[in-house]
Amino acid sequence: MPAERLSMRRIREVLRLGALSRSSREISQSIGVSKTTALDYLRLARRAGIGWPVPAEMDDAGLERKLFPPLAPTRAARPEPDWRVVHAELRKKHVTLRLLWEEYQAVEPEGYRYSQFCNRYREWAGGISVWMRQEHRGGEKLFIDWAGATIPWVDRETGEIHQAPLFVTAMAASSKIYARATEDAKQAAWNDCHRRAFEFYGGVAHILVPDNPKTAVTKVSRYDPELNREYAALAAHYGTCVIPARPRKPRDKAKVESGVQIAQRWIVAATRNRTFYSVFEINEAIESLLERINARPMRKLRRSRNELFEELDRPHLLPLPEKRYEFADWRVGARVSLDYHAEFEKHFYSVPYGLAHKVVDVRATAMVVEIFYEAKRVASHLRSSVPHQYSTETAHMPKAHQKQAEWRPSRIVSWAEKIGPSAAQLVAAVMAERPHPEQGFRACLGILRLADRFSEAQLEKACARALACRAHSYRSVKSILTNKLENQPLPSKEQGILPLHENVRGADYYN
């Protein structure tokens, strides 16, 4: 019988929501009852053969008779054991339910049979600590974790001993294990091990269940964890989803904990007396050990993990995508400058000029840099390792008749002319030295804005000195002003083209 008796109106609502495949939690929240009560009424309906909609001719009284039929006469109640004593006795060494049942039978010969005794005890114990009962469907979940143990390897050149972390996964239904050693436990290694695991299994599980390392979860929360962006991108590429285990809930990932234990016993311990000279050598050894682990029959089931995998998991895995996953670095929240370029690792990549001053995200693989605005890709460039240079797509440049054209070189020069002829000449030189004048806008505006910190007269003199030294850059003008060199005599041809400065040693220094 349900712990709480509901009105027939609320019972009908439970049946309706159950027919819509709502979970017990959703039903309980909808009508204001406990999950247990909702489940009890759904069970009563199934046992009575009542579905939804309830037949029109069945009124409330008829529905009640169906759900709560008269109880058949029962035998006299049997003596009930003191389950608290049974529970306490079971915590003692070597005590079993069989032993306790035999002791109970010696006192109460007409008491419960052994199977009933066990069932009633488990029902009683279930009220102390309710465990979620996991039903693992084929191909549904892949449990993932770093093993606590590491495998040492020796650098041949230096003799230094390194520790290789061990990545372990286990399929939920078949328990088939995959393991791989890595040089470190960083994001690239974590994602690469996932790719290799999927290829090892020949498919992708519908749900990934990692623990909560930073490579998987950036914000740990029981209710609303925040996934690592690179990890979320991997899951999206393979068409799967990530549901991290709840913090401090080891039973959420009991399968991989067992897999980790097996990996530590049959891989780490099995290789303890071997000397490895690279992570590659370690993984060669792991491959052969994995074959033995997955082919060995399990004691309770008397079937191997490979056999169970082929029967339970493989038919239900998601197919591998045609294109292999490629790890990418992200820079989130990069601001596009006035010259419509975004910076990544000190190189500047163009975007459509209309995105000047906007905030974008930059994604970089080994070969390509992609730029996204509001989750839409707006630019793609070959990746460059040359610092302080520009990769500019001509199509990103502004047209003369469009709004952005107001930032033409002539406008920058006109602004500089208000400070003085030297300032105008310098900004013109800065833009002339760039492949595209717009690439010099940033430096020119930086030069002109120095007038906010120094006077226009000082800036004009500094620009004249920079021109004389052929130092056409913002940094040179700023250095002249900061070191108060603008009033020094301009260098002659005999003095060379470098500005006078305490850090400039001169040619004689190297003789």
**Cα separation, 179 vs 259, whole angstroms:** 9
Q: Helices 421-432 and 441-449 sit at what angle, rounded to 10 degrees?
A: 160
**What value does the mean pLDDT take over residues 159-185?**
91
What single letter denotes the amino acid at residue 136?
H
Between the alpha carbon of residue 98 and those of residues 91, 103, 184, the distances in Å are 14, 9, 50
**Cα separation, 120 vs 85, whole angstroms:** 14
133-142, 148-157, 369-378, 447-456, range with the lowest pLDDT:
133-142
b/e 479-498 (16+ beta carbons within 10 angstroms → b): bbbeeebbeeeeeeeeeeee
174-183, 244-253, 375-384, 500-509, range with the lowest pLDDT:
500-509
Residue among 153, 187, 445 nearest 274 (CA): 153
**Cα separation, 328 vs 326, whole angstroms:** 6
Which region, left, alpha or beta, applies to residue 345 given φ > 0 means left and ψ of -120 to 50 means alpha? left
pLDDT given for residue 132 in this prediction: 32
Between the alpha carbon of residue 497 and those of residues 471, 485, 503, 504, 505, the distances in Å are 8, 15, 15, 11, 13
Residue among 205, 184, 183 nearest 194 (CA): 205
Beta strands in 155-300 (DSSP E): 161-171, 177-181, 207-210, 217-219, 226-227, 241-242
Beta bridge partners of 382: 368
36-45, 218-227, 439-448, range with the lowest pLDDT:
218-227
Helices and strands: H and E segment counts in the chain: 17, 14
Rg over alpha carbons for the chain, rounded to the nearest Å, is 37
| CA 328 centroid distance within chain | 13
Token digits for 477? 């003008």
Residue among 276, 283, 285, 266 nearest 182 (CA): 283
Sign, CA torsion 370/371/377/382: negative
- Taking 60 as the threshold, does the pLDDT of residue 483 lie above it? yes
Predicted confidence band of residue 151 (pLDDT cuts 50, 70, 90)? very high
Please provide the average confidence, as pLDDT, over all residues in the chain.
82
- DSSP three-state, residue 194: helix
pTM: 0.49
In tens, the pLDDT along 344-403 reads 989 999 999 889 899 999 988 888 999 999 989 999 999 998 888 889 888 888 764 344
**Angle at alpha carbon of residue 419, lines to 416 and 504, rounded to 5°:** 85
H helix or E strand, kind and range, residue 145: strand 141-154
Long-range pairs, 258-261, Cβ under 8 A, ≥24: 258/170, 258/175, 259/143, 259/145, 259/168, 259/169, 259/170, 259/175, 259/177, 260/145, 260/147, 260/148, 260/168
Between the alpha carbon of residue 376 and those of residues 349, 367, 381, the distances in Å are 16, 20, 15
In tens, the pLDDT along 249-277 reads 555 555 556 767 888 888 888 888 899 99
List phi, psi (to 5°) of 227. -75, 145
- DSSP three-state, residue 332: strand
Predicted confidence band of residue 131 (pLDDT cuts 50, 70, 90)? very low
Residue among 475, 472, 500, 504 nearest 486 (CA): 500
Q: What percent of the chain has pLDDT over 90?
A: 28
177-186, 335-344, 400-409, range with the lowest pLDDT:
400-409
